Amino acid sequence: MTNHPPQVKQYMTPSPHTVRSDLPLAEAHRIMREHQIRHLPVLSGGELCGIVSQRDLHLIETLQDVDPEQVPVEDAMSQDVYTVSPDAPLQQVAAHMAQHRIGSAVVVDGMKVVGIFTSIDALAALADLLARQGS
């Protein structure tokens, strides 16, 4: 049996929660709190257009004269999204995230968001791989 290197799809969080770019910041924050997550892929017309983190929301919400009920997610999101395919080698993705200090990778299959791979998922992968190595 051939031992294939682990792929992102083995450790990603499948079917992640997403938000529309026109959704108010307060609603994105509610989704994050409710589901205990820190990153939300942002969609416009059903396609990935950005990512918003808990840190992004906090930064915008602390600005003077910002009403989180009125300001849309697109004003806080980053358009520079690190995307990978489900078959991407875990080692390459983790190395890229560490080198560039990226907290998450959005996993896409074609134009469809199919998962998210966060630093928490990376730690779970590390724990699993180390446990396998020790057995």
pLDDT value at position 134? 77
CA–CA dist 86, 91 (Å, integer): 13
pLDDT value at position 66? 86
Sign of the CA dihedral with 68 first, then 115, 16, and 109 last: positive
pLDDT along the chain (135 residues), means of 10: 82 97 96 96 95 92 87 94 98 97 96 95 95 82
The pTM for the full model equals 0.91
Each residue's pLDDT tens digit, 103-123 = 999 999 988 999 999 999 999
Each residue's pLDDT tens digit, 45-62 = 999 999 999 999 988 888
Q: Which fold has domain 8-134?
A: CBS-domain (3.10.580)
CA–CA dist 40, 31 (Å, integer): 9
Closest C-alpha among 25, 34, 87, 31 to residue 62: 25
The structural domains of the chain, with segments of one domain joined by +, span 8-134
pLDDT value at position 1? 43
